[in-house]
Chains A and B, each alone.
Chain A
């Protein structure tokens, strides 16, 4: 018999619910974005995010059940993002999930947000192990090795800024609207030349990343140009910055894929929607004959479908949350197997 997981995600500024069949098929997927509301502040304001979640939560879950044409009695379990994320935002999804699960006598399943991003790929192409995942978003830049379902080994991570964070900060320097990532990506594609910025490789054998030096280099460049009274070419700055980020991400991912002899490489997270990064990864792995996948845009940014996909395997592993479940803003990605 098929299993239907209702998944809820509220870790940042998207109120989302989804129903996933057997961990691979999207039955319904609703995302209510708050981006328009946060634009005026130039970034996500946690208190505002929490206020929106309370307003949207039940509407989003109802729409999700309606589109799936399922009743609570037909569900197998409720999966919800436990962390990491904004604690006040996480709490809305978690308490809604607990109340819903209690009302219908359903088991509750805690899901790690990053496990969710990785499992978004399972909704497009079955995951094959061993696997390497490059997770890049506003809060994360990580290389994760997976031997099997539920096994996560963090082999590299950022030591300072996440890639997405660097994008947002550079976008601010260039006076681009929030969120800045897509604007930098677009400008970089239009650019004819690139301002040369450094590549930060760290130690030769390290899979870690560092983007704060690059960010500072961009800020210093703008500052120096301003002092000399020269105009910067935003597109050339965007391309120079993006080239540096993409080159480092691609090279480290490739080196890890070869060292760990993986059968599949996947990209996940909001920055995986970046055209420059996708193109570079696709070309690199095609050349090496290593299967590479990246989910479609709407599954790269925060959504609940990915939580349902991961939640299915958490459920199958017998892991359950309870009514005491709390939000864990700094939750580490631990294996459940």
Chain B
């Protein structure tokens, strides 16, 4: 079974090819190149490196979000188009679950997060494979409240943890742990590892694959608010 994994949900980019549980190649980078410029060249390059043709893969998996709207869409568009035109199944994996998987050997609470601007984050928390906080878009203060009540040490993972660190320590004190820097970038190999344990959807399902933004668009939120006011 040969997997192609793609991750472009936030600034980092990762692409990998895994064959029968062995990593053939993986790209992980965290440079400010827009995914529209960086992602397809990385895909092209990784196929060239492993000496494979696109049609030789058996399945594709992509980080379905949450994260930067545009970033998520670029990865999903590439994955959907490849999966549909090559007639391969497509599996979506949460960007937060994939990031937390970097610390899967840690037996305590792991919290993965991405900056969502204006003091908001996309975050999730897990313990030994169990989900404690499902993917959510939340103000950092709200996340701190949710984590504080656990009354446990929490290991934070993600390149954006640094900018919230003061706030985290203020709330959790010595119970806050920061993962080593080598674990802060999402990896396409972890996405593939998670996807391998999910059921393979039918190839026909590819068309209906949609990003998981975890947030409705601002214009839509405003419109819904207006509708509510009209109703009242």
Point out residues on A near B: beta carbons under 8 Å.
Answer: 40-41, 45, 47-48, 50-51, 54-55, 57-59, 61-62, 72, 88, 91-92, 94-96, 98-100, 102-104, 323-324, 326-327
Contact = CB atoms under 8 A, between A and B. Distances in A.
Interface of B: 34, 36-37, 39-41, 43-44, 54-55, 69-70, 73-74, 76-78, 80-82, 84-86, 206-207, 210-211, 213, 217-220, 223
Instruction: Describe A's contact surface by its main secondary structure.
Output: helix
B213 to A, nearest CB: 8
A91 B74 contact: yes
Contact of B86 (A62, A88, A94, A103): A103
A177 B223 CA distance: 16
B81 A100 contact: yes
Instruction: Describe B's contact surface by its main secondary structure.
Output: helix
A99 B57 CA distance: 14
A97 B199 CA distance: 29
A246 B81 CA distance: 43
Given A45-B219, A47-B219, A103-B85, A91 B80 contact: no
Nearest to A58: B84
B40 A48 contact: no
B219 A48 contact: yes
Contact of B44 (A59, A102, A104, A326): A102
A41 B220 CA distance: 8
Q: In this complex, which of B36, B70, B219 has the most chain A Cβ atoms within 10 angstroms of its Cβ?
A: B36
Nearest to B39: A95
A198 to B, nearest CB: 35
B65 to A, nearest CB: 11
A55 B73 CA distance: 10
A57 B69 contact: no
A319 B78 CA distance: 23
B73 A88 contact: yes
A163 to B, nearest CB: 25
A54 B73 contact: yes
Contacts of A47: 69, 217-219
A58 B70 contact: no
B84 A62 contact: yes
Nearest to B72: A54
A62 B207 CA distance: 10
**Shortest Cβ-Cβ A-B pairs, 10 listed:** A99-B81, A323-B40, A45-B219, A58-B84, A47-B217, A95-B77, A98-B40, A96-B81, A323-B41, A99-B78
A324 B220 CA distance: 32
A48 B217 contact: yes
Nearest to A54: B73
A42 B119 CA distance: 30
Contact of B80 (A58, A102, A324): A58
B178 to A, nearest CB: 33
